[in-house]
């Protein structure tokens, strides 16, 4: 009998709490860009390419890449206009129009002569 009274008291408590009229607080999260993970490599086409910490051309420049550099493509921005690249130990964002993607480092290396000869 004691156990059933405790069960009834617990059920009444749960019912009372779940039926309260207070509206739950609205949770608002900031918009985050969708990033596509895309492993691959890319060849840098222009003489110099600026590399940024974030995908924004008006930000601080972290470092530069030079024409002919081969970088690992880590991911892309949601509109695919920016690529996150790894050059050695350094990682940053470049405008995707400045690089030519390839499936492997070997393909990028083999295409280096073709693309760079066409650029000049």
pLDDT, tens digit, 9 for 90 and up, residues 48-106: 999 999 999 888 999 999 999 999 999 998 888 999 999 999 999 999 999 999 999 99
CATH of the domain at 70: 2.30.30.40
Query: Phi-psi bin for 89: left (phi > 0), alpha (psi -120 to 50), beta?
Result: alpha
Residues 6+ apart with CB under 8 A from 81: 55, 95, 96, 97
36, β-bridge pairs: 76
Instruction: Examine residue 79 and state whether it is found in any structural domain, yes or no.
Output: yes
Is pLDDT larger for residue 96 or for residue 15? 96
Is pLDDT larger for residue 102 or for residue 29? 102
Q: How many domains does the chain have?
A: 1
Instruction: Examine residue 14 and state whether it is found in any structural domain, yes or no.
Output: no
Instruction: Examine residue 12 and state whether it is found in any structural domain, yes or no.
Output: no
Is pLDDT larger for residue 108 or for residue 17? 108
Does the pTM exceed 0.75?
Answer: no
**Among 10-14, 43-47, 92-96, 112-116, whose mean pLDDT is lowest?**
10-14
101, β-bridge pairs: 42
**Three-class SS state of 17:** helix
Instruction: Examine residue 16 and state whether it is found in any structural domain, yes or no.
Output: no
**Torsion from C-alpha of 113, 115, 116, 120, nearest 10 degrees:** 130
Q: Which domain holds residue 51?
A: 36-119
Instruction: Examine residue 47 and state whether it is found in any structural domain, yes or no.
Output: yes
For the chain, what is the radius of gyration of the CA atoms?
A: 27
CA 74 remoteness from chain centre? 8
């Amino acid at each position: 009998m004691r156990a059933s009274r405790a069960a009834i008291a617990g059920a009444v408590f749960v019912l009372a709490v779940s039926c309260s009229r207070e509206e739950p607080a609205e949770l608002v999260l900031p918009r985050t860009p969708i990033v596509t993970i895309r492993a691959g490599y890319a060849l840098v086409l222009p003489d110099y390419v600026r590399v940024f910490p974030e995908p924004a051309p008006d930000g601080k420049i972290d470092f530069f890449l030079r024409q002919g550099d081969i970088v690992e493509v880590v991911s892309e921005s949601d509109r695919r206009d920016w690529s996150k690249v790894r050059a050695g130990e350094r990682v940053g964002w470049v405008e995707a129009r400045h690089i030519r993607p390839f499936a492997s480092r070997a393909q990028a290396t083999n295409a280096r002569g073709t693309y760079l000869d066409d650029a000049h």
